[in-house]
């Protein structure tokens, strides 16, 4: 891959809905865990609908290129990139990994146990203000994501003035137990759980032990951001909800797309009095809330026939927001949609 020279613009993400100017869109290289050895997957699959769970079993130990999934997902990515570029957003892509490259880093046994998943760039890196945080993720199969992002990030971030840090490492030997896996006990964080609302940061924590952020991850983030005046709030979610952005989207101040029934402690108080577009638990699990604001007036939304996306899109349009719908079913069957597939590097008022 040819790396562009570093752009002179600083890294900055002000909020979920500030003007999107620069973003990383994922690449759909996947190696599915070998379910003969990866018993942890049984618990992890609780976060996706049953139809998607069955496909994971059928694809055990195979890769997305050989079974044609890569091409289907990349066509959806191309539609997304076309919309982003038409709306003035600069797009970066990760390097596409190979199985051999991941094996060289982590070993064959690890790849069989964990698999590889590159599409959902939202999760391995979090950008808040000018802080760029390489996450220690709670999902075992996401450990190799950073390999494909390392050189593009190096090219973009050096000289940008960004505060570029990595989270503490974890001890996988402690987290793994007879093929099972538990994220708790270490600070882990995934970008799908992190919503930026100015100086207020919401972080979801799923009760599912195999995926998503942990309470210690929330505490680490709060300590890291406190010197710059950020307030971090933990938002507890049930075992069948992967990330906070599965249950919540903020298209603009005063308006929220939300699934109230999955918030174990109630919808965060910061949304009291806001206009709500509510979705059901089933719509949320099919990624009905997982859209991407381009700014306060434009919104990109994945649709798949099951997410209620058409209904949500209509409700947004009725509130004066222009919606760009994209068929995104090849992605949603892997547990992610538009927001999951995009990592903003610059999102600020022009």
Q: How do the residues of the chain divide into helix, strand and coil, expressed in percent and rounded to 5? A: 35, 25, 45
Q: Does domain 12-347 have CATH number 3.20.10.10?
A: no
Between strands 176-177 and 20-25, the pairing is unpaired
Which tokens is 280 given?
A: 């059901």
Whole-number Cα distances in Å, 163 to 38, 134, 151, 158: 36, 11, 17, 10
Residues with Cβ within 8 Å of residue 272, at least 6 apart in sequence: none
DSSP 158-212: TTTT-EEEEPPP--HHHHEETTEE--TTS----GGGEEEETTEEEEEEES-TTSS
Residue 142 has phi, psi (to 5 degrees) of: -105, 5
Contact, 209 vs 231, CB < 8 A? Answer: no
Please tell me the distance from the alpha carbon of residue 131 to that of residue 133, in angstroms, as a whole number.
6
Q: Which of 125, 141, 121 is nearest to 337 (CA)?
A: 121
Between strands 125-128 and 292-293, the pairing is unpaired
pLDDT tops 80 at residue 15: yes
**3-state SS assignment for residue 31:** strand
- pLDDT tens, position by position, 80-117: 999 999 999 999 999 999 999 999 999 999 899 889 99
What's the pTM?
A: 0.93
Predicted local distance difference test score (pLDDT) of residue 178 = 66
pLDDT tops 70 at residue 6: no
Taking residues 165-187, report their average pLDDT: 85
Q: Which of 266, 245, 269, 265 is nearest to 257 (CA)?
A: 245
- pLDDT tens, position by position, 177-208: 766 788 898 999 999 999 999 999 999 999 99
What is the rounded average pLDDT for all residues in the chain?
A: 92
Which tokens is 259 given?
A: 């699934």
Tell me how crowded residue 269 is: count the other CB atoms within 10 A of its CB.
9
pLDDT tops 70 at residue 257: yes
Please tell me the distance from the alpha carbon of residue 299 to that of residue 311, in angstroms, as a whole number.
14
Tell me how crowded residue 145 is: count the other CB atoms within 10 A of its CB.
25
Selected residue with higher pLDDT from 36 and 241: 241
Where are the domains positioned within the chain?
A: 12-347
Report the percentage of the chain scoring pLDDT > 90. 77
Selected residue with higher pLDDT from 40 and 113: 113
Side-chain half-sphere CA neighbours of 237 within 13 A: 33
């Amino acid at each position: 891959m040819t790396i562009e020279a570093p752009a002179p613009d600083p890294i900055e993400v002000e909020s979920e809905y500030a003007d999107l100017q620069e973003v990383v869109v994922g690449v759909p290289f996947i190696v599915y865990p070998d379910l003969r050895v990866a018993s942890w997957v049984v618990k992890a699959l609780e976060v996706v609908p049953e139809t998607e769970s069955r496909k994971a079993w059928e694809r055990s130990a195979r890769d997305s290129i050989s079974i044609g999934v890569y091409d289907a997902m990349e066509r959806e990515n191309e539609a997304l990139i076309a919309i982003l570029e038409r709306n003035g957003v600069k797009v970066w892509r990760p390097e596409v990994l190979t199985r051999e490259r991941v094996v060289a880093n982590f070993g064959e046994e690890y790849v069989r146990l964990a698999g590889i998943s590159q599409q959902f760039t939202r999760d391995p890196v979090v950008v808040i203000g000018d802080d760029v945080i390489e996450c220690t993720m709670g999902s075992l199969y996401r450990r190799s994501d950073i390999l494909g992002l390392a050189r593009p990030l190096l090219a973009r971030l050096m000289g940008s003035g960004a505060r570029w840090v990595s989270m503490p490492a974890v001890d996988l030997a402690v987290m793994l137990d007879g093929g099972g896996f538990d994220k708790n006990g270490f600070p882990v964080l995934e970008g799908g759980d992190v919503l930026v609302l100015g100086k207020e940061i919401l972080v979801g924590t799923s009760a599912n032990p195999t995926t998503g952020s942990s309470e210690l991850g929330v505490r680490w983030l709060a300590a890291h951001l406190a010197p710059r005046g950020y307030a971090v709030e933990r938002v507890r979610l049930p075992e069948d909800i992967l990330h906070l952005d599965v249950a919540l989207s903020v298209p603009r101040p005063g308006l929220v797309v939300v699934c109230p029934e999955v918030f174990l402690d109630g919808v965060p108080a910061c949304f009291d009095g806001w206009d709500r577009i509510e979705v059901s638990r089933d719509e949320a699990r099919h990624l009905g809330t997982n859209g991407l604001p381009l700014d306060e007036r434009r919104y990109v939304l994945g649709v798949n026939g099951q997410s209620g996306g058409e209904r949500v899109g209509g409700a947004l349009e009725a509130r004066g927001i222009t919606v760009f719908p994209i068929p995104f079913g090849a992605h949603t069957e892997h547990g992610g949609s538009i927001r999951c597939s995009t990592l903003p590097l610059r999102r600020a008022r022009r």
